Each structure stands twice: as C-alpha cells, then as structure tokens.
Amino acid sequence: MTTFITRCPTCSQAFKLDESVLNAKEGQVRCGFCNSVFNAKEHLYRSKTSAAMSVAVMERQAEAERQGIASMKALASQLQGFDAVDDSANLTRVTPSATAAPARQEVINAPLAQETTAPAIPAVIEPAAAQEPAEDIDDEDDEDDEPKRSRTWLWALVALIALVGIVAQLLAMYRPVVLEKAPQMQQVYTPLCQYLKCAQPQAEKTVAPKAPTFTVVSQNLEKLDDKRWAVRVTVKNVTDAAQKFPALLVQLKSAKEDVLTRRQVLPENYLEDKAATVAAQAQAEIGFAFELQEGEPATLSVEIDPSI
C-alpha cells in the first residue's frame, strides 16, 4: 500500500498517512499539534514505496559484501605461507532490477469538488515518527550557565559577609545607645566586643550640690483684701561675702492642704534696685503681694530657689 506524507500549512508539521485515511474523511484532517483543519490532499507528498526501499537495502548489502571480500584478499596476500584466496567465483552477484524510485511530488493544490452534503468531520492525525520534532538542547548554553550561577552565588556570599560586618560595626559604635534602649543586648556585646572596639558608655556627670547662700529665717502671710495677700519673708546671707538677693519659691495651700498657687518670685519682682546685695552674715526682709481669684490660703511655704 502506498504511503503518503502531508504537511500542515499552519505549523509545517509532517504527517504519515495511507489511502484509507486519506479517502475516509474526503481529505479533511486535523493537525495533532496545532489543531488546525486542512485538506491533506491539497498538501500531499508521495513517499517511497516499499519495493523501492527493498531495492535500496539490497544494494547496500551487496556493497558491504564486496568491501568485505576486498579486505579479506588484502589480508591474505600479506600472510606468509598462504596463497591468496579468491572466493569471487563462489559468490553470486545480486543485481537489483532497474526500478526508479518515485520522485518527490510537488504539493498538490488541486481543490476538491464542492459537494452539497454536510462537511465531513476531519480526522485527527499524529505526526510521522520520522518527522517528530526533536527537543532543542543547547549544551553550550548549559555549560555557560554553570559559571554564571557560580559567580552569582559568590557575589551573594560576599555581599552577605559585608552586610554582617557593617551591622556588627554599627552595633559596636552605638553600644551605649543600644544598651540604653535594650539592656538584654549585653549578651550580644560580650563576644562582639572581644573582636571589635566597642564604644564605652559615658560616665554620668555628677553635679555637686550648690552650697546654700541664703536661708529663710521667718515668713508671714497677711490678707490685704478679698483677692490680694501680702507675703513677708526674712532671709539671711550665710556666706562670708555679700550676695545678691535670692529667688524664692512660694506656695500657698488651703485648709484642706490643696495647693492654691505655686510661684517663682525673682529678685526683680520685689526689688526696686536690681543691683542691691545682702552683706555677709546679714539678714534682709522681702515683701510682695499675691492676687488669688479663688480660695483662701491657710498656710504659707517659702523656699530659696537653688537654680538661680
């Protein structure tokens, strides 16, 4: 039976089929690769027949036998003590009949006769075994990818080591700040500071208490009217040198110990001469008034303000 080969016009895939398949669906087939429907008779190629293929096989076998005999003759002539053997008389030469192989036919594009019947369902054909597309394997590309992947991993490792080093250096530089926010990080700094120079926390500056220059000797509260109250305070300079008048912290409380007001009174609030001083070991009387919108003070508390 004659074998035909057709080619899909869409994807150019070749398919092997015989006359029974070609005539069963009136030439309408469906490509097994791209599912395109086309007429196989319009894209048909005629393949070699089985007889022609048999002749070609017989010719190849006869040629192989002739080459084998020639090799044996050449070997036997080189052996000493032995005559060359000519077995050509016992061989039967096989001469194939002169059957010309069918030439490749051009694509048959003759359209089929139009019929009024319903269109036939196209047959799905699979590609011929000889025409199956082989997977493209590019060994050179795979070999080139290996060094690229190796270099990528190397650069990633170098970047990771550099990042760890930067983080460790920053932790060492800002050790006091980190420990202030997270004291539990001391466990991390114990081994880290063995290899890196860690910043040491600064010692807290201790400010020696300022020696008092004045003390309050007496204090008195006097009501002037419904909203105004007068305060009189006697202070003493406890140093051996003249001192400027001090600033005072005045607090008034109600009978229930509620704070009605707490104020800082500066020397310029109660002195006309801002440059006035108190002699060494001398006392001075200070007077000023408060105005209260609500409440009636019951107790008075006056202290020397050490910040001024």
Question: Which of the four pLDDT bands, split at 50, 70 and 90, describes residue 202?
Answer: low
264-306 tens-digit pLDDT? 999 998 998 888 999 999 999 999 998 888 888 989 999 999 8
Q: In Å, what is the CA distance from 208 to each residue of 117, 205, 211, 238, 304?
A: 117, 9, 9, 19, 18
Same domain, 120 and 23: yes
Domain boundary among 131, 160, 177: 131
Taking the C-alpha atoms of 275, 280, 281 and 287 in order, what is their torsion angle to the nearest 10 degrees? -10
Q: Is the pLDDT of residue 31 over 70?
A: yes
Same domain, 154 and 98: no
Same domain, 167 and 285: no
Q: Is the pLDDT of residue 79 over 70?
A: no
Q: What percent of the chain has pLDDT over 70?
A: 69
Q: How far apart are CA 141 and CA 147, in angstroms?
A: 11
pTM recorded for the entire structure: 0.35
Q: Which stretch, 88-97, 100-109, 189-198, 228-237, has highest mean pLDDT? A: 228-237
Same domain, 127 and 63: yes
Contacts with 172 (C-beta within 8 Å, 6 or more apart), sequence order? 192, 193, 196, 197, 198, 199
Domains contained in the chain, number = 3
pLDDT of residue 103: 44
Range of the domain at 52: 3-131
Q: Is the residue at 54 inside a domain? A: yes
Domain boundary among 131, 153, 175: 131
Structure tokens at 241: 């040198």
4-18 tens-digit pLDDT? 788 889 888 888 877
pLDDT (average), residues 86-90:
48
* CATH label of the domain that carries residue 297: 2.60.40
Question: Which of the four pLDDT bands, split at 50, 70 and 90, describes residue 238?
Answer: very high
pLDDT of residue 98: 46
Selected residue with higher pLDDT from 45 and 67: 67
Same domain, 107 and 23: yes
Selected residue with higher pLDDT from 115 and 172: 172
Same domain, 161 and 223: no
Q: Is the residue at 202 inside a domain? A: no
pLDDT (average), residues 190-204:
75
Same domain, 160 and 49: no
Q: Is the residue at 293 inside a domain? A: yes
Q: How far apart are CA 234 and CA 229, in angstroms?
A: 17
Same domain, 15 and 110: yes
Query: Counting beta carbons within 10 angstroms of the beta carbon of residue 69, is it exposed (0 to 12), middle (13 to 18) or buried (19 or more)?
Result: middle
Same domain, 7 and 92: yes
Q: Is the residue at 209 inside a domain? A: no
Helix (H, G, I), strand (E, B) or coil at 84: coil
Q: Is the residue at 224 inside a domain? A: yes
pLDDT of residue 249: 93
Same domain, 71 and 179: no
Same domain, 30 and 80: yes
Q: Is the residue at 67 inside a domain? A: yes
Mean of per-residue pLDDT scores for the chain: 75
Structure tokens at 159: 């970047």
